[in-house]
C-alpha cells in the first residue's frame, strides 16, 4: 500500500461525529436529552459525603456502603446534580449524637476497635448488641457520624427554608435503638433528623418503605403525638426480622398517653406486586395526611422491598417504589428523603437514582449513560429499569380482602386521632443548628492555634545570617 493510499484512507471525524467527547460534554448531552433542569417552585438539595462509601462491614456482610458509590455515579452520569443544590455535609458531633442516644453507648462506639471484638468473643460477651449483624469494623464511629451528620444537615436545610426536598441516601438506618445497635444500624439518623424538624414543625409524619419494620423510629416516638409513624413491611413475628409491627401495634395502650394510636403499621405477606402496593400506599397515606395534618414528612426508601433483593420477599419494581415517593412529594410538604435497607447494590443504586429524578420531576431515559462509571455492574441490560418483579419471584400471598382489611384497620385507628395534636414536648431538644455553630467556632479556633504554633516554629526560617554564628 502506498503512502498516498494510507493518507486517503483516514478521514478526520467532523464535529459531532466523534465519541471522544469530554465527560462534561457527555453529561451535558444527557441533561439535554432527559430535560433535566432545576424544578420550578421548589428546591431540591442532595447531601452526600464520599467518605461514607469507603466503609466496609466485612466480605460476607450483606450491607455494602459502596452501593452509595453506584448511586452517586448514576446521578452524576445523568447530570441530575445540575438541577440540585449539592452539599458535602460534615460529620455529626458527639453532642449531636447524644441528643437521642445514651452517652455511654456513643462513647463505646467512639472507642471500640476490631481487636476488642476478638476479646469479647473469647469471653462470650457482646455489649450493646454488637455481633454478626452489627460488626465492629475500622472507621465505625466515623461511619455513624457521617451518615447521621448528613441527615441532620438535610433536616436543617428544610427548617432554614433553604430546601423543600432534602435527600440523604446514606441515611435511613431505622433499627438503631437509644442504647444499642440493631439490624446493621448503629445510630438512628432518622430520629436525630426528626428531633431537628420538631424544633420548627409541630407535627411530623414518618413513612417507612423498607421491607423490615421501622422499629427503632417507632420506639423513639412511641409516647408522643408530635410524630406519627407509618411502616409498610413484611411481618412474621417469629421468622422475619425484627418480628414487630403487627396491625395491633398502634402505640401505648392507654388512651391517656399522647402517643396512643400514633404508631401505624401495615403488615404484609410475601410477594406483594406493583399495583397492590401503590394502591395500598395511597389508601393509607391519604387518610393519615387528612387526619393528622403533618407540617413535614420524612420518608425512608429502603431498597430491600424491591423484587429480587438478597434479603427481601416482595415483587415490586423500581417505578412502583418511586410512585410512592412521587405521591408523597406531591403533598407539597417539606420532605426529607433517606435511604435504608437494600442488599442487591446495583438495584438499590438504580432505585435511588430514579427516586432522585422523581424528586426533581424529571423522567429519565431507561438506558444508562454509557459513560456511567462501573456500568459493567449493570450488565447485561445496562438499564435503569430492569424487570425485577420476576427475579426470584414470590407468590403473592396478600389477597385483596386482606389488603382492604388493613386499610379499614388504619382508618379505624385514625378515628382516635382527635384534631390537631399538641405542640408541646416535656423535653424540647436544644437547637442543633446552634450546636453546629458552636462546634464550627471551636474547630476554627483550634485551626488558628495550630497555625499560630506553626508560625512560631517557622519564625526566621531561611532568613539571612540565620546560621552564620
pTM metric for this prediction? 0.87
The residue-averaged pLDDT of 108-115 equals: 93
Question: What is the reported pLDDT for 451?
Answer: 57
Q: Which of these is catalytic: 81, 175, 201, 371?
A: 175
Question: What is the reported pLDDT for 126?
Answer: 80
> Is 369 in contact with 78 (CB distance < 8 Å)?
yes
Question: What is the reported pLDDT for 220?
Answer: 98
Name the percent of the chain lying above pLDDT 90: 80
Would you call 47 a catalytic residue per the annotation? no
pLDDT band for position 117 (cuts 50, 70, 90): confident
Strand partners, 330: none
Rounded to the nearest 5°, which phi and psi values hold at 120?
-65, -45
What Cα–Cα distance (Å) separates residue 385 from each residue in 68, 192, 275, 358, 394?
Answer: 18, 33, 17, 14, 19
> Is 85 in contact with 45 (CB distance < 8 Å)?
yes
The Cα–Cα gap between 234 and 398 comes to 11
Name the percent of the chain lying above pLDDT 70: 85
> Is 97 in contact with 90 (CB distance < 8 Å)?
no
The Cα–Cα gap between 188 and 180 comes to 10
Give the number of other CB atoms < 10 A from CB of residue 286.
Answer: 13
> Is 410 in contact with 285 (CB distance < 8 Å)?
no
The Cα–Cα gap between 169 and 192 comes to 15
Strands (E), 35-180: 44-47, 85-87, 165-168
Q: Which sign, positive or negative, has the C-alpha torsion 239, 241, 247, 253?
A: positive
Written as nine digits, the cell of 257 is 398517653
Quick one: residue 210, left, alpha or beta (phi over 0 = left, psi -120 to 50 = alpha)?
beta
Q: Is 432 helix (H, G, I), strand (E, B) or coil?
A: helix
Taking only the tens place, the pLDDT of each residue in 233-259 is 999 999 999 999 999 999 999 988 999
| pLDDT score of 464 more than 70 | no
Of 237, 247, 197, 185, the residue nearest 221 (C-alpha): 197
The residue-averaged pLDDT of 315-323 equals: 98
Radius of gyration of the chain from Cα atoms?
25
Say which residue the cell 402496593 belongs to.
277
The Cα–Cα gap between 455 and 418 comes to 65
The Cα–Cα gap between 423 and 418 comes to 14
| pLDDT score of 428 more than 70 | no
Higher pLDDT, 237 or 1: 237
| pLDDT score of 6 more than 50 | no
Question: What is the DSSP track for 361-427?
Answer: T-PPPSBPPTT-TTGGGGTTT-BSS---TTTTPPP----HHHHHHHHHHHHHHHTT--SSPP---SS
417-450 as b/e, with b when 16 or more CB fall inside 10 Å?
beeebeeeeeeeeeebbebbeebeeeeeeeeeee
Question: What is the reported pLDDT for 19?
Answer: 56
Between 42-46, 96-100, 453-457, the lowest mean confidence (pLDDT) is in 453-457
Written as nine digits, the cell of 301 is 426508601
Out of 7-21, 24-38, 429-443, give the one with best mean pLDDT.
24-38
User: In sequence order, which residues have a C-beta less than 8 Å from that of residue 261 and are 6 or more positions away?
Assistant: 250, 251, 255, 413, 414, 416, 417
* Arithmetic mean of pLDDT over the chain: 89
Q: Is 355 helix (H, G, I), strand (E, B) or coil?
A: helix
Taking only the tens place, the pLDDT of each residue in 372-410 is 999 999 999 999 999 998 888 899 999 999 999 999 999
Question: What is the reported pLDDT for 425?
Answer: 43
Between 27-41, 104-118, 351-365, 440-454, the lowest mean confidence (pLDDT) is in 440-454
Q: Is 269 helix (H, G, I), strand (E, B) or coil?
A: coil
Of 357, 231, 333, 242, the residue nearest 285 (C-alpha): 231
Amino acid at each position: 500500500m502506498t503512502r498516498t493510499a494510507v493518507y486517503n484512507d483516514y478521514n478526520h471525524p467532523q464535529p459531532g461525529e466523534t465519541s471522544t467527547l469530554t465527560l462534561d460534554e457527555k453529561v451535558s448531552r444527557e441533561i439535554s436529552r432527559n430535560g433535566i433542569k432545576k424544578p420550578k417552585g421548589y428546591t431540591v438539595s442532595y447531601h452526600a459525603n464520599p467518605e461514607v462509601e469507603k466503609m466496609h462491614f466485612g466480605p460476607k456482610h450483606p450491607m455494602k456502603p459502596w452501593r452509595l458509590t453506584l448511586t452517586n455515579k448514576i446521578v452524576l452520569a445523568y447530570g441530575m446534580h445540575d438541577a440540585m443544590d449539592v452539599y458535602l455535609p460534615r460529620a455529626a458531633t458527639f453532642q449531636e449524637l447524644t441528643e437521642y442516644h445514651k452517652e455511654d453507648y456513643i462513647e463505646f462506639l467512639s472507642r471500640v476497635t476490631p481487636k476488642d471484638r476478638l476479646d469479647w468473643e473469647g469471653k462470650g460477651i457482646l455489649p450493646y448488641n454488637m455481633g454478626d449483624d452489627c460488626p465492629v469494623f475500622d472507621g465505625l464511629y466515623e461511619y455513624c457520624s457521617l451518615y447521621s451528620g448528613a441527615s441532620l444537615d438535610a433536616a436543617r436545610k428544610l427548617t432554614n427554608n433553604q430546601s423543600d426536598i432534602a435527600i440523604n441516601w446514606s441515611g435511613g438506618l431505622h433499627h438503631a435503638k437509644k442504647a444499642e445497635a440493631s439490624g446493621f444500624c448503629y445510630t438512628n439518623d432518622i430520629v436525630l433528623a426528626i428531633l431537628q424538624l420538631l424544633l420548627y414543625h409541630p407535627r411530623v409524619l414518618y413513612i417507612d418503605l423498607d421491607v423490615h419494620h421501622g422499629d427503632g423510629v417507632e420506639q423513639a416516638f412511641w409516647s408522643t403525638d408530635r410524630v406519627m409513624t407509618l411502616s409498610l413491611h413484611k411481618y412474621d413475628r417469629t421468622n422475619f426480622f425484627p418480628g414487630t409491627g403487627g396491625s395491633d401495634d398502634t402505640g401505648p395502650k392507654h388512651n391517656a398517653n399522647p402517643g396512643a394510636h400514633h404508631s401505624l403499621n401495615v403488615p404484609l405477606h410475601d410477594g406483594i406486586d406493583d399495583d397492590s402496593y401503590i394502591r395500598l400506599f395511597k389508601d393509607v397515606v391519604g387518610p393519615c395526611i387528612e387526619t393528622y395534618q403533618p407540617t413535614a414528612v420524612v420518608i425512608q426508601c429502603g431498597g430491600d422491598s424491591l423484587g429480587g433483593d438478597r434479603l427481601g420477599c416482595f415483587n415490586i419494581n423500581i417505578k412502583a417504589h418511586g410512585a410512592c415517593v412521587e405521591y408523597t412529594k406531591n403533598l407539597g410538604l417539606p420532605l426529607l428523603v433517606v435511604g435504608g435497607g437494600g442488599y442487591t447494590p446495583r438495584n438499590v443504586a438504580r432505585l435511588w437514582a430514579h427516586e432522585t429524578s422523581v424528586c426533581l420531576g424529571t423522567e429519565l431515559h431507561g438506558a444508562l449513560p454509557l459513560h456511567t462509571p462501573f456500568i459493567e455492574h449493570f450488565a447485561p441490560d445496562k438499564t435503569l429499569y430492569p424487570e425485577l418483579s420476576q427475579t426470584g419471584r414470590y407468590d403473592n400471598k396478600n389477597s385483596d380482602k386482606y389488603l382492604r382489611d388493613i386499610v379499614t384497620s388504619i382508618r379505624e385507628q385514625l378515628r382516635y386521632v382527635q384534631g390537631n395534636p399538641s405542640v408541646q414536648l416535656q423535653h424540647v431538644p436544644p437547637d442543633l443548628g446552634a450546636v453546629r455553630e458552636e462546634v464550627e467556632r471551636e474547630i476554627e479556633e483550634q485551626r488558628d492555634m495550630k497555625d499560630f504554633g506553626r508560625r512560631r516554629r517557622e519564625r526566621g526560617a531561611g532568613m539571612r545570617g540565620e546560621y552564620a554564628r
